[in-house]
Chain A
């Protein structure tokens, strides 16, 4: 059943103080993650990555190579997990499906006229259905930021609910494109709308707009998830995407998730990183912690 918008019950009207958020985030960044915690954390990060290619020039060859990398991150090192998923355009889903076979690596597809979302609802729904039919396990949709900024929250809500319906069994990630929402108050409001409209995940960015997944924005969204969980007992996932390219920043994000939502969220069922270059930096750190040496980036494949 498609959900209907009820602003009184769905919008928390919570305001967010930017200075306070910056201070809180700085605290996460002073956490010291060493030795076995670091290695465990780095492996968790690898297993939470949505390995992504979203370019006009993507080819089946590129997607195939990425799908291989997704399952063989660095075979010289045993006991490495696979990434969580590959993330591609709808036209590449069938290629990825074939390349991944029966692997546990999921296929996420962007849809709804990604990245701008400037199209009709009919096209967005058929875009989504196409991706699901092609074999996508997860759909990453974008919200209509123009409508949101114009105050048409019901429109934004109904659209998300309609896409959720079109997803069927596929899990829905809702991209807020926080770089276009301009304030943390808006980020919070958009998070509340997306969660109530049926998002399985909320996601910061398309990766096409800067700033993308800042820790301030991710923190604000995590608080929305926490409040919803406290109220309903329902877990919602989080995916920061864009701008997280170093192990250190990724570990800081894990710290934040752990301290805001708890260990239950620290699996790829509930937390993802949308990233393309993060994996190799994490691999480099893992090799450093096992061999004691930093290796040249030439030793890490760049599929």
Chain B
């Protein structure tokens, strides 16, 4: 007998909640400063909370280092440099760095979960991008430690000494890796300050550093706010300042170290152009736009925040982009299906909302995806503005959030001019089927990185850094090594 149970699948098919487990992570209630491979309470006796931006709950209390603590850390680093680290062979240094890389890999899951908790970024990104890339930076630079003469031919490469490193909150563990790995490979010792909203993964990295048996004082981690960073910048016994963060703070640092012996590399803000020509693979370009501006909630210094679309395809591209935005999931950073997580802090959310208001006041047309966002925590819908011109504030200033401005252009010369018409020069994207056009643009765009038919691709082998007010010096690759050598 025939059975007729064919279901009419008219019901919606949605993804059930799929949160990554937090049962395997270990977090202390209170974190001290990491100096000389020991956990030291701050002489300020002050602590500040680190909160989960998705739930506004406090994750841990973090020590607030003052200039006495920073001095202690710099002294430890100097002693370690003079007595141990500078005397080790490159091969021996490499072994320690490899060991740190492997131990990070073993604890990758814990790092990913803590990063998402502390930072608000979706677990998909911390698991598939931040943590693996951070490990790869250590692996990559471990390999250079005994080959410095090959990296710098016809020179006798020498370490600088003690490096003071100040990193931002958008890629906390990855930025720590970008800073620490090349410094150690080149033979320097380190005092690192993570951003005040995202100290946890750097402190977990400190645990690994301690467990790895790295000699005491080679890596010191001091937590705190801007005053802690200032104490590092102004400390007389530091040989090099490496900073990633805002252009404003970068300028302050440069003023502070002017006339001193300190070397520096600054990786600052950006307002990068993503340029779509009419012969581009349009659907992949739309993916590139999404990846360029909505990756990590747009908290990316090289975010493709200014979109330039050739006039004859603008309508189609914008239609496709809006439709794609509707399929992005905004919500719980720990859910494996979340595409866009929480904004890192209340202050940053206010900044983004301020710029959205400005955009509306300037008369640009706003479009935000219709998705529901959680009532608790700091969230922002993916946003785009059309009808934008070069003179709009939203097209000039770095918003550091999921906000895209769209302008159209007609000719190649016009778009090159407009793309370069900014004080920044960190990155750019070019989308076209024509190889010759790619090479023409890469030579004319004043940007440290130009991606062709892709966006936001990172690799330890590839140098990264800016033109103009986006900073100077390169990180990654052989170039990144040079920044830590005499």
Chain A contact-residue range equals 35 or more
Q: Which one of A15, A24, A84, A258 contacts B287 once the chains associate, using CB atoms below 8 Å?
A: A24
Interface: A298 (CB within 8 A): no
Which residues in chain A, 102-127, are within 8 Å of chain B measured between CB atoms? 102-105
User: What chain A residues lie within 8 Å of B15 (beta carbons)?
Assistant: 31-34, 37
Interface membership of chain B positions 454-473, coded 1 if the CB is closer than 8 angstroms to chain A and 0 otherwise:
10000000000000000000
Q: Which one of B2, B8, B280, B287 contacts A23 once the chains associate, using CB atoms below 8 Å?
A: B287
Contact A71 B453 (CB under 8 A): no
If over half of B's interface residues share one DSSP class (helix, strand or loop), that class is named, otherwise mixed; here it is loop
Interface: A55 (CB within 8 A): no
Contact A266 B128 (CB under 8 A): no
Which residues in chain B, 304-359, are within 8 Å of chain A measured between CB atoms? 319, 323, 327, 336-337
The CA-CA distance from A38 to B454 in the complex, in Å, is 33
B238 CB → nearest A CB, Å:
41
B240 CB → nearest A CB, Å:
37
Nearest to A105 among chain B residues (CB) is: B6
Contact B13 A104 (CB under 8 A): no
Interface residue tally for chain B (C-beta within 8 Å): 36
Interface: B260 (CB within 8 A): no
Nearest to B124 among chain A residues (CB) is: A30
A258-B2 contact in complex given A17-B281, A30-B336, C-beta closer than 8 Å = no
Q: Which one of A16, A31, A84, A230 contacts B337 once the chains associate, using CB atoms below 8 Å?
A: A31
Contact B319 A230 (CB under 8 A): yes
Interface membership of chain A positions 67-89, coded 1 if the CB is closer than 8 angstroms to chain B and 0 otherwise:
00001100000011110100000
A82-B5 contact in complex given A30-B128, A266-B13, C-beta closer than 8 Å = yes
User: What chain B residues lie within 8 Å of A101 (beta carbons)?
Assistant: 2
Contact B3 A35 (CB under 8 A): no
User: What chain B residues lie within 8 Å of A38 (beta carbons)?
Assistant: 16
A174 CB → nearest B CB, Å:
21
B425 CB → nearest A CB, Å:
25
The CA-CA distance from A44 to B11 in the complex, in Å, is 10
User: What chain B residues lie within 8 Å of A189 (beta carbons)?
Assistant: none
Contact A47 B7 (CB under 8 A): yes
User: What chain B residues lie within 8 Å of A14 (beta carbons)?
Assistant: 281-283
A31 CB → nearest B CB, Å:
6
Q: Which one of B4, B13, B433 contacts A15 once the chains associate, using CB atoms below 8 Å?
A: B433
Q: Which one of A20, A79, A104, A268 contacts B4 once the chains associate, using CB atoms below 8 Å?
A: A104
Interface: A21 (CB within 8 A): yes
A44-B284 contact in complex given A20-B453, A31-B337, C-beta closer than 8 Å = no
Contact B337 A15 (CB under 8 A): no
Q: Which one of B13, B281, B323 contacts A20 once the chains associate, using CB atoms below 8 Å?
A: B281
Contact B4 A82 (CB under 8 A): yes
A267-B128 contact in complex given A16-B281, A34-B18, C-beta closer than 8 Å = no
User: What chain B residues lie within 8 Å of A16 (beta carbons)?
Assistant: 281, 283-284
The CA-CA distance from A105 to B327 in the complex, in Å, is 33
Nearest to A41 among chain B residues (CB) is: B13
The CA-CA distance from A71 to B287 in the complex, in Å, is 41
User: What chain A residues lie within 8 Å of B282 (beta carbons)?
Assistant: 14-15
Contact A259 B453 (CB under 8 A): no
Interface: A297 (CB within 8 A): no
User: What chain B residues lie within 8 Å of A254 (beta carbons)?
Assistant: 13
User: What chain A residues lie within 8 Å of B319 (beta carbons)?
Assistant: 230
Contact B453 A104 (CB under 8 A): no
Contact A47 B287 (CB under 8 A): no
Interface membership of chain B positions 376-393, coded 1 if the CB is closer than 8 angstroms to chain A and 0 otherwise:
000000000000000000
Contact A19 B337 (CB under 8 A): no
A24-B3 contact in complex given A30-B124, A47-B9, A254-B13, C-beta closer than 8 Å = no
User: What chain A residues lie within 8 Å of B14 (beta carbons)?
Assistant: 37
User: What chain A residues lie within 8 Å of B12 (beta carbons)?
Assistant: 263
The CA-CA distance from A69 to B279 in the complex, in Å, is 49
Interface membership of chain A positions 2-45, coded 1 if the CB is closer than 8 angstroms to chain B and 0 otherwise:
00000000000011110111011000001111111110110110
Contact A43 B7 (CB under 8 A): yes
Interchain residue pairs with CB less than 8 A apart (30): A15-B280, A15-B281, A15-B282, A16-B283, A20-B281, A20-B288, A21-B284, A23-B454, A24-B287, A31-B337, A32-B336, A32-B337, A34-B16, A34-B17, A35-B16, A37-B13, A37-B16, A72-B3, A79-B5, A81-B5, A81-B7, A82-B5, A100-B2, A102-B2, A103-B2, A230-B323, A254-B13, A258-B13, A263-B12, A263-B13
Given A20-B284, A34-B18, A267-B8, 14 additional A-B pairs, CB 8 A: A15-B281, A15-B433, A16-B284, A20-B285, A23-B454, A30-B124, A31-B336, A31-B337, A34-B16, A34-B17, A44-B9, A80-B5, A82-B4, A82-B6
By Cβ-Cβ distance, the 9 closest A-B pairs, closest first, are A20-B284, A17-B281, A32-B336, A32-B18, A103-B2, A37-B16, A17-B284, A81-B7, A267-B9
